[in-house]
Amino acid sequence: VRALLGTPEGSGALALPTLAPAREELLRLLEDYARGHRLADAPLRVALVGATGAGKSTLLNALAGASLAQEGEARPTSREVTVYAPEGAPLEGLLAPGARVERYRPGAAAGGWSGQTLVDTPDLNSVERVHAERTARALEACDVAVVVMHRGSVAEAVQADFLAGFASRRRLLFAVNYADEYGRESREALKEQVRRLAQERLGLAAEEVPVFAISAREARAGRDVTGEFGALLLSLRALGGAAVAERVRQGNAAAALRALAERVGAGLAEAERVLGQVRGGLAEGLQSARALLREEFEGQLLLASGELAQAVRKQAAGRGWGPAALWMRLSLLGAGGVGAATLVARASLPAGLAVAAGATLVDAVRSRTRAAAARERVLGPGPGEAPDGVAERAARAALAPPRTAAAAAGLPAEQAGLPPVEALAGALQRVREEAWEHAERGAVGAAVAAWWRWARWVLLPLINLPLLALLGHVSWRVVRAYVEGPLLPGAYFYNAAALASVLAMVGGTLASWSLAGAVRRVRAEALARLTERLEAQGEALLAETGGALGGPREDARALLALVRPPGAEGSRREAAGREAAGRERAGAERPGGA
Ligand SMILES: Nc1nc2c(ncn2[C@@H]2O[C@H](COP(=O)(O)OP(=O)(O)O)[C@@H](O)[C@H]2O)c(=O)[nH]1
Ligand SMILES: [Mg+2]
């Protein structure tokens, strides 16, 4: 249990931030549980607790048969703890500063007391908080509390609040003192009031509330005015028997453990709830981040359409054949270069070729710088945009709702498994880069391949056939003129060439039009890739928050499984009884006992 509970700084259930307010109490409960086991066969410890002037010290003296504790007229009478212990009994946990210790030889006490350790405590209801704290510390180290009350303190809220912290893990006995001052009826009425209070405020079952009307002062003088002081003594003696004492301790320890499990269970449930909210917030934030990135990327792709169309045409021209493809290739060189080359070629062919080659080179460089510029424009911050860019804005949008949810629960963002904004922004930017690269390369290839599947059979023949027919016709005319004469005039060839270039131009334009669909496809592909990657990244991020506080949560679950094995339902006392019985059995089975 100690290992699973761990430490607030290290791992273990205590590292759950939702358990932070309960840390001290959990450590106290753990200590209580451990004490029950450590002192398993030490004499039972009985603490006398109650309001100032209730008669605690008088009762201790009556039980011990000696003037051990100071009985006082001036209140509060006892500031310190008085311990009345048999010789040799361990006193660990009881020796707070200022505590007074009286040892007695078992069996020799004048009050007929034997075997147990009695502890007189300061007042519960003193204005000095330190009194109640001392009493609480003393009761933490005891097994049984005898709650001593006078008429005025029976219904005191401070007392009930104090006892509520111990009710489940301490055996309680109630003594209504000053019985010598009331008649039988008021005594019974007071006892009834105590029973009701114990059930309502402390959650005890009716049969768990032993109440005795006594007069401590009379008992001091050896008189039992109600006949119930003897019964109280008997109850305490019965508790003092070794077997009962052990059962009381085990029951108390089991109750402490259950209380501990209850707190841990609540803390774990709260942690799960908070983390659930963080995950919900993150899912929501990621959705708006995705919408933002998609919208922005779609816009950028539209702006980069020219660049993408260029890439598509280049690839398509590479696949095509015949004059139409040639025209497409030529048109990629840029009209300026081709025009200049044609003009110069009329004067000198080598000069024309040189101009064409120069134009091609210039064009290649320009297309490269244009690609770089397009990349810069798509991926970088847009014109007039802050330099943090869309990725950072999206990261902020994704993280805002889960961070709010975590902060509302006092959970630091990193403990909730949320990355810093810069890290997420970096990852989102990488996704954008990847989607753009996909657009430039894979998507263009795929779109052109799809275009080529139909264009090769439909479009290219449609464009190339008239050209080939023209070529055939011209050839036929040339052959016939050569054989039969007269020879064809130069104007004929100029005309045929002009017609061929018109046909090729129309074909090239048709091909370009048909490629508009391919460009759209590239954009859609790139957008789909972006969405897909963003979704995958969102999943990974959600999975990461799912594993937040993994160690402490696991330890808390293991602790709960240890304390409440599956199916162990039923009432508190029943469970305590079962646990004690189980331990007795386990002890009996093991040779040598403990
Ligand atoms: N009449 C009467 N007086 C009592 C009784 N018990 C205690 N006293 C007196 O009440 C005063 C306070 O008692 P004390 O034991 O010091 O109370 P404590 O503050 O609870 O320790 C003392 O003067 C006692 O003599 C009782 O049963 N009957
Ligand atoms: Mg006292």
DSSP collapsed to 3 states, 127-190: CCHHHHHHHHHHHHCCCEEEEEECHHHCCCHHHHHHHHCCCCCCEEEEEECCHHHCCHHHHHHH
Two tokens, residue 581: 């019985």
- State residue 66's pLDDT score: 79
SS3 66: coil
DSSP collapsed to 3 states, 71-94: CCCCCCCCCCCEEEEECCCCCCCC
Q: For ligand 1, what atom is nearest to the CA of residue 56?
A: 20
Q: Which residue's alpha carbon is at the smallest distance from atom 16 of ligand 1?
A: 71
Between CA 341 and CA 523 the distance in angstroms is 35
Calculate the CA dihedral of residues 245, 250, 253, 255 and round it to 10 degrees: -110
The one-digit pLDDT tens for each residue of the chain (594 residues) are 888 888 877 788 888 888 888 888 899 899 888 888 787 778 889 999 999 889 999 999 898 887 877 777 555 556 788 898 888 888 888 888 778 888 887 765 555 566 789 999 988 887 778 888 889 999 999 999 999 999 889 889 999 999 998 988 899 999 999 999 989 999 999 999 999 999 999 999 888 889 999 999 999 998 999 999 999 988 888 887 777 888 888 888 888 989 999 999 999 999 999 999 999 999 999 999 999 999 999 998 888 888 888 888 888 888 877 767 777 777 665 555 666 666 676 777 777 778 777 777 777 777 777 777 777 777 776 555 555 588 999 999 999 999 999 999 888 898 889 999 999 999 999 999 999 999 888 899 999 999 999 888 988 888 888 888 999 999 999 999 999 989 999 899 999 988 988 887 888 788 878 888 889 999 999 999 999 999 999 999 999 888 888 889 999 999 999 887 655 544 444 444 444 444 444 444 444 333
Largest Cα–Cα separation, the chain: 160
Strand order in the sheet with 117-120: 100-104, 82-86, 117-120, 45-50, 144-149, 171-176, 211-213
- State residue 17's pLDDT score: 86
- Please choose from 58, 59, 224 the residue to mutate so as to test ligand 1's pocket, defined by most ligand atoms within 8 A of CB: 58
437 lines ligand 1 (CB under 6 A): no
Nearest-5° angle of CA 526, CA 333, CA 495? 125
What distances in angstroms separate CA 150 from CA 70, 78, 108, 195, one per listed residue?
A: 18, 16, 30, 15
Residue among 251, 254, 268 at smallest CA distance from 22 = 268
- State residue 202's pLDDT score: 92
Between CA 280 and CA 257 the distance in angstroms is 34
- 81 CA distance to ligand 2 middle (Å): 9
pTM score, two decimals?
0.69
Strands 82-86 and 117-120, by their bridges, are antiparallel
- Please choose from 52, 61, 71, 223 the residue to mutate so as to test ligand 1's pocket, defined by most ligand atoms within 8 A of CB: 71
- 64 CA distance to ligand 2 middle (Å): 14
- 50 CA distance to ligand 2 middle (Å): 9
Q: Which residue's alpha carbon is at the smallest distance from atom 9 of ligand 1?
A: 55
